[in-house]
Amino acid sequence: MAARLVLYQKNNTGAYSNNPLSQNSGNPAQAAAVLSLSEVSKHNSANDCYVVVNNKVYNLTDFLNYHSGGAQAILPYCGKDGTNAFNTKDGRGSHRSGDLNVLANYYVGSLQ
């Protein structure tokens, strides 16, 4: 049985599209936010999930159910710094280099 990964990308209007090949457009008119860890910590549920990875903040809310390891692999890091978990796959290895490109689709801003 083959699994298909569907990505959701926030477009310039704030809506999400389910184009599996879409990449972050990097719209220069849309400035990236700078968030404190205190602000990130408010986004700590399956319905509102921000995760910090390598000092960058990602909104993974719409990605949770599409993660190949399941939502349960990400949920413990909602509202927290998940750098070590992402970089080591919770001690089980490392993500593929393309996974950083996937993460980029959910970029919100940088950590203060």
CATH of 33-111, one of 3.40.190.10, 3.30.530.20, 3.10.120.10, 1.10.3720.10: 3.10.120.10
Per-residue pLDDT at 52: 97
The answer to whether the Cα torsion of 95, 100, 106, 109 is positive or negative is positive
Q: Is pLDDT of 2 > 60?
A: no
Q: Please write the tens of the pLDDT for every residue from 17-51.
A: 443 323 343 444 356 899 999 999 999 999 999 99
Q: Please write the tens of the pLDDT for every residue from 79-92.
A: 999 999 999 987 78
Give the domain ranges of the chain.
Answer: 33-111
Cα→Cα distances 18→24, 26, 82, Å: 13, 17, 25
Q: What is the pTM of this model?
A: 0.72
- For the purposes of burial, counting CB atoms within 10 Å of the CB of 84, is it exposed (0-12), middle (13-18) or buried (19 or more)? exposed
